[in-house]
Amino acid sequence: MIIHVAVTLKEIFRLGRNYRWQRPKCCPRCHCFKVWGHGYHDTFFEGYESAIPLKRWRCPQCGCVICYRPKSHFCRFQTPIKTIRSILFSRLQCGRWPSGFVRCRAGHWLRSLKRRVVARLGNTWQGGLLAAFDYFMRQGQIPVSRSI
Q: Which residues bind Zn ion (CB under 5 A)?
A: 27, 29-30, 32, 59, 61-62, 64
Task: State the minimum distance, in angstroms, from the CB of residue 22 to Zn ion.
Answer: 18
Q: Which is nearer to Zn ion, 61 or 145 (CB)?
A: 61
Task: State the minimum distance, in angstroms, from the CB of residue 41 to Zn ion.
Answer: 19
Give the bridge partners for 70, in sequence order: 5
Q: Which is nearer to Zn ion, 61 or 72 (CB)?
A: 61
What angle (nearest 5°) sits at the alpha carbon of residue 137, between those of residues 10 and 72? Answer: 5
CB 144 within 8 A of CB 92: no
Rounded (to 5) percent helix, strand, coil in the chain: 35, 15, 45
Q: Which amino acid is it at 87? A: I
Give the single-character DSSP code of 45.
-
Q: Which is nearer to Zn ion, 1 or 148 (CB)?
A: 1
Rounded distance between C-alpha atoms, residue 141 and residue 148, angstroms? 10
Task: State the minimum distance, in angstroms, from the CB of residue 133 to Zn ion.
Answer: 34
Task: State the minimum distance, in angstroms, from the CB of residue 59 to Zn ion.
Answer: 3
Q: Which is nearer to Zn ion, 61 or 83 (CB)?
A: 61
